[in-house]
Amino acid sequence: MASKFGRNLLKVLNERHVSQRQLAEAIGVSDVSVNRYISGERNPSAETVAKMSQALGVSSDVLLAPEKHSSILPIVTATAVIGAIAYLVGKNLLSSDDKTKIVNTLFQNGENGKNPEGGK
């Protein structure tokens, strides 16, 4: 059974008219691995998620989005997002402004349970 990540990835692939093989070649994995990510047999590393989002021209949020009715991100998803950010920073793919926005957003969200727009 496909995971939420797998369903999200398949949706983006279909929207972008990109085959599993094309994505696999772009990110340096086998097409079997991409198929296993879609089916839910395997979970991609944070680095692989970052490569996928870059190759597909979407933010990692699009691939990692939790179920619509979920009130919190699963730990695995949060870990993947943090890993993806670390990968992008390590590869120097984020501007100084991007880094500042990420840090500010993290602190704003953690402050008194409020989101950046000021709501609860």
Residue type, 61: D
Written as one string, the DSSP assignment of the chain is ---HHHHHHHHHHHHHT--HHHHHHHHTS-HHHHHHHHHTSS---HHHHHHHHHHHTS-HHHHHPPPTT-SS--HHHHHHHHHHHHHHHHTT-S-HHHHHHHHHHHHHHHSTT--TTS--
Distances (CA, A) of 61 to 10, 30, 57, 80: 14, 23, 12, 10
Predicted pLDDT of residue 10? 92
Per residue in 74-98, pLDDT (tens digit) is 545 666 777 778 888 888 887 888 8
The pLDDT tens digits of the residues spanning 21-57 come to 999 999 999 999 999 999 999 999 989 999 999 999 8
pLDDT at res. 78 = 66
